[in-house]
Structure 1
Amino acid sequence: MLFYQMHELGRAWMKPWTLLADATARAYAPGGTWLSQLAGADQVAAANELLYRIGKDYEKPDFDIHSVDHNDRTYPVVQLDALELPFCKLLRFKRYTDDPAHLEVIRAQPRVLVVAPLSGHHATLLRDTVRTLLRDHKVYITDWVDARMVPTESGGFSLDDYVAYIETFIRHIGAEDLHVISVCQPTVPVLAAVSLMAARGEPTPRSLVMMGGPIDTRQSPTAVNNLATEKPLSWFQHNVIHPVPMNYPGRGRLVYPGFLQHMGFMAMNPERHLESHRAFYENLIKGDLEDAQAHRRFYDEYNAVLDMPAEYYLDTIRVVFQQHLLPRGRWVVAGEPVDPSRIAGTALLTIEGELDDISGEGQTRAAHTLCTGIAEADRAHLTVEGAGHYGIFSGRRWRNQVYPQVRDFIAAHSGPAATPRRAAAKKPSPPRKGKRKNS
């Protein structure tokens, strides 16, 4: 139970050395002090910056989205807090224009809720997803709070609570003209939330876009899936759950610490990370500042992790990876059975990466087997050739291959609220030029 505290002590012990390494790197770097003129200064600077970046603390990055360019126009963007709950903020990215005609276009565009994963990294991992969606949509995103920052008096947070949060966000935005995009882990609680809302007769979103998620991990199990099944739930309870130390607002809260998750991330591809750090060192010496900066940007995001509430983490291991309750039709949330076949008025698009080593082939597509109430014409599936897990929602493949199909699918299922569509649905219309909005 002292493991987290020992980690914090080690971090505190390392801090002076990392600060010294940072100061030394700056002094010996080109344009630093007179030391930068000495022979071998570039190697000293590079080695110390590498040491600093390995040992430093990585804080939550900013979304840093202040404008969006589309069709030769630039729209200022402001990040707003739309709703704040103890374990999550609902953020809105709102675009502005002083052109009345373009303002009308923006106002007419559909709303999109991006449900970010609560699986170790911050929601800023979806920065590219949000920035791209802002071309043609009003965009909201779930920004999950680091559990160590949530005081214990706020209570616990389970997978059932996650489902309830998604329902709250959908109601807050308004389901009638809303499209929900879930990336990775949240595909499961999002499908549960919409299933429960449909069963109660509540309005449901116009479409669901599910990307690389573990709907049914019995399909093409990956190393990540196997890790969750090779040990009993009690092993996770006793070995990876720790209380938050006294120096945080959530002191005493049981969590799955972010640093353990980060160690798992690194252990999955140690050779790749070692090679990346070696290349960073060499790029600094060669003066290849562009590649060096790309390395900094990637690891500033990759190394910034958060703690997950223990209840939620253990629920996910049990419900999603060990007992497969959703695809087996055995999942009950807060006393209500989760039945995806009750969803009827919501279109469904599933997306998988051909080379995804986190959510294997067929795991996301399994949603179609469960959502039998959705008309065939309102369904679609996309497998992105050559794409890994991150490539389906970030980077060149996302922007050039995936996003156009997501945009067109949303456009085809937007418009005035309708009753559940069980018969033929209208075919996707070609993308309309000048589609920008005030999101």
Structure 2
Amino acid sequence: MYYQLYELNHAMMAPWRAVADHMRLAYSNPLNPLSHTCFGRTMAAGLEVLERATRRYGKPAFGLDTTTVDGQPVSVHEKVVWQRPFCNLVHFERMLPGGHRADPKILMVAPMSGHYATLLRGTVETLLPHAEIYITDWVDARMVPLSDGSFDLDDFIDYIIDMLHALGPDTHVIAVCQPSVPVLAAVAVMEEDSDPLAPASMTLMGGPIDTRVNPTAVNRLAEERPIEWFRDNVIMPVPWPQPGFMRMVYPGFLQLSGFMSMNLDRHLIAHNEFFEHLVKNDGDAAEKHRDFYDEYLAVMDMTAEFYLQTVETVFMRHALPKGEMMHRSRRVDTGAIRNVALLTVEGENDDISGVGQTKAAQTICPNIPDSRRLHYMQPDVGHYGVFNGSRFRREIAPRIVSFIEANRREKRPVPRVIKGGRAGGK
């Protein structure tokens, strides 16, 4: 019922939002004498804040059209090379010059935790000069018809294995936050099966491998309530007329409200400063605010089965570090991982995945040789800073690139232009 009320409220606000946007344009038009006065700028600023506060934010674009390789500008094209109902694998195809050496392939597994994969735009942009990047572009569950079936944690693991098979040998996988657990599980399954297409290395960044270590507010919330509470209070059917009508989901707007409530004072201050920047005509600062919140406020729904299974398996039962996690009636044995190199990265001030939660992967994978494992804790960054921002670019990304280069399995020349092709079908 809450989802229907949310949609109804959004529909009711649509006319007022349109009026606010129209009046904002009128007050900010340079041909309007009031636009050059404090009164006009104040009115335009207030109307823009109102319009943005009531807007539905759609999926942002990656917008990565160029990169720099060996000091030269190179064009980049997005291409879907693998597709399933709940995920598109996007290749950032670089138009490389002839004779360029073969760069490693990186499968970047974006979190399915309410935001779109574009949240990792900065991560992709930083690593793109050094590798062929493929990213999991998860589909908003409310856009997937019921006829396309369900999607749970087991399916997530299967998707990862299928993508690694599609990409072939010498692929390196990077998991950011939530997918650290299913990625580690997928690698364990592949290693136990002696799969020749298991990744050459895996990098786990700010992931909840063992949430018993330094539990955060998010972790404590999951432990304080039974799984029935989550099923009864946060799972809702997708309302009409969305394509996923009647699919049971964990709505993105609920996840967003939870994230914002954790740092509500910061968001209120940010919006107040945004208003002041608009009044002062400080365009650069205002544009930074727009860019951040255009991304942050764009949310997607998750299937109920995936959300509930993740909450129970990862945050309640701590099944992976206990050696009790199952994948389709089969125990996940992280001790089977012997050939895949492991890098774990944490942020000192991470309030989502506490310090030590990701490092726990080093403990539960005892059979990886010491020469092929590394842990790094980045000082003075929170959860977002683990995979984005200036410290990520300066200090974390170079370590990831170096670790991947040190653990490559094959090197061969590449053609003048790397072309991607569809490796899977719906």
Q: TM-score range by the shorter chain?
A: over 0.9
1:263 aligns to 2:262 (yes or no): no
Cα distance, 1:200–1:28 mapped onto 2, change above 3 Å: same
Partner Cα separation in structure 1 for residue 36 and residue 204 of structure 2? 54
Alignment partner, residue 334 of structure 1: 328
Partner Cα separation in structure 2 for residue 410 and residue 15 of structure 1? 49
What are the ranges of 5 or more consecutive residues in structure 2 without an aligned counterpart?
420-426
Partner Cα separation in structure 2 for residue 56 and residue 360 of structure 1? 33
Alignment partner, residue 424 of structure 1: none
**One-letter amino acid matched to 2:407:** H
1:327 match: secondary structure:
helix
**Quick one: which of 185, 192, 198 aligns to 1:199?**
192
1:118 aligns to 2:117 (yes or no): no
Partner Cα separation in structure 2 for residue 167 and residue 181 of structure 1? 13
Alignment partner, residue 433 of structure 1: none
Identity across aligned pairs (percent)?
48
Alignment partner, residue 425 of structure 1: none
2:45 match: secondary structure:
helix
- Contact kept, 8 Å, 1:113 with 1:141, in 2: the verdict is yes
1:247 aligns to 2:251 (yes or no): no
Deviation of 1:438 after TM superposition, in Å, equals 4.7
Partner Cα separation in structure 2 for residue 33 and residue 216 of structure 1? 59
What are the ranges of 5 or more consecutive residues in structure 1 without an aligned counterpart?
418-435
| Deviations, residues 202-251 of structure 1 (Å, cap 9, x unaligned) | 12110000000000000000011111111110000000000000110000
- Contact kept, 8 Å, 1:25 with 1:44, in 2: the verdict is yes
Partner Cα separation in structure 1 for residue 70 and residue 232 of structure 2? 54
Alignment partner, residue 398 of structure 1: 392
- Contact kept, 8 Å, 1:135 with 1:437, in 2: the verdict is no
Alignment partner, residue 143 of structure 1: 137
**One-letter amino acid matched to 1:334:** R
Deviation of 1:69 after TM superposition, in Å, equals 2.3
Alignment partner, residue 401 of structure 2: 407
Query: RMSD of aligned C-alpha atoms?
Result: 1.4
**One-letter amino acid matched to 1:100:** G
Deviation of 1:194 after TM superposition, in Å, equals 0.7
**One-letter amino acid matched to 2:192:** A
Deviation of 1:34 after TM superposition, in Å, equals 5.0
The TM-score with structure 2 as length reference comes to: 0.95
- Contact kept, 8 Å, 1:25 with 1:49, in 2: the verdict is yes
- Contact kept, 8 Å, 1:26 with 1:32, in 2: the verdict is no
| Deviations, residues 54-98 of structure 1 (Å, cap 9, x unaligned) | 01110000000000124431110000001110001111001003x
1:61 aligns to 2:60 (yes or no): yes
1:15 aligns to 2:9 (yes or no): no
Write out aligned runs for 1:356-435 (5 A).
356-416=350-410
- Contact kept, 8 Å, 1:122 with 1:304, in 2: the verdict is yes
1:113 match: secondary structure:
strand
Write out aligned runs for 1:219-230 (5 A).
219-230=213-224
Cα distance, 1:409–1:397 mapped onto 2, change above 3 Å: same
Alignment partner, residue 296 of structure 1: 290
Partner Cα separation in structure 2 for residue 36 and residue 362 of structure 1? 53
**One-letter amino acid matched to 1:15:** A
- Contact kept, 8 Å, 1:178 with 1:205, in 2: the verdict is yes
Partner Cα separation in structure 1 for residue 185 and residue 370 of structure 2? 20
Partner Cα separation in structure 1 for residue 342 and residue 290 of structure 2? 37
| Deviations, residues 304-347 of structure 1 (Å, cap 9, x unaligned) | 00000000000011000000000000111101110011011110
Partner Cα separation in structure 2 for residue 260 and residue 274 of structure 1? 18
Partner Cα separation in structure 2 for residue 198 and residue 304 of structure 1? 37
Alignment partner, residue 423 of structure 1: none
Partner Cα separation in structure 1 for residue 38 and residue 353 of structure 2? 50
Deviation of 1:39 after TM superposition, in Å, equals 5.9
Alignment partner, residue 91 of structure 1: 90
Alignment partner, residue 51 of structure 2: 52
**One-letter amino acid matched to 1:180:** V
2:73 match: secondary structure:
strand
- Contact kept, 8 Å, 1:80 with 1:93, in 2: the verdict is yes
**Quick one: which of 79, 98, 120 aligns to 1:100?**
98
Residue correspondences, number: 414
- Contact kept, 8 Å, 2:30 with 2:36, in 1: the verdict is no
Deviation of 1:437 after TM superposition, in Å, equals 9.0
Deviation of 1:32 after TM superposition, in Å, equals 5.7
Cα distance, 1:300–1:39 mapped onto 2, change above 3 Å: closer
Alignment partner, residue 26 of structure 1: 25
Alignment partner, residue 42 of structure 1: 41
Alignment partner, residue 160 of structure 1: 154
1:319 aligns to 2:313 (yes or no): yes
- Contact kept, 8 Å, 1:195 with 1:338, in 2: the verdict is yes
The TM-score with structure 1 as length reference comes to: 0.92
- Contact kept, 8 Å, 2:38 with 2:279, in 1: the verdict is no
1:43 match: secondary structure:
helix
Deviation of 1:171 after TM superposition, in Å, equals 0.6
**One-letter amino acid matched to 2:134:** Y
- Contact kept, 8 Å, 1:138 with 1:438, in 2: the verdict is no
| Deviations, residues 93-143 of structure 1 (Å, cap 9, x unaligned) | 01003x323xx32xx111000000000000000001011111110000000
Partner Cα separation in structure 2 for residue 32 and residue 231 of structure 1? 58
Partner Cα separation in structure 2 for residue 290 and residue 438 of structure 1? 37
Alignment partner, residue 310 of structure 1: 304
1:180 match: secondary structure:
strand
Alignment partner, residue 73 of structure 2: 74
**One-letter amino acid matched to 1:297:** D
Cα distance, 1:38–1:353 mapped onto 2, change above 3 Å: closer
1:133 aligns to 2:138 (yes or no): no
**Quick one: which of 260, 274, 277 aligns to 1:280?**
274
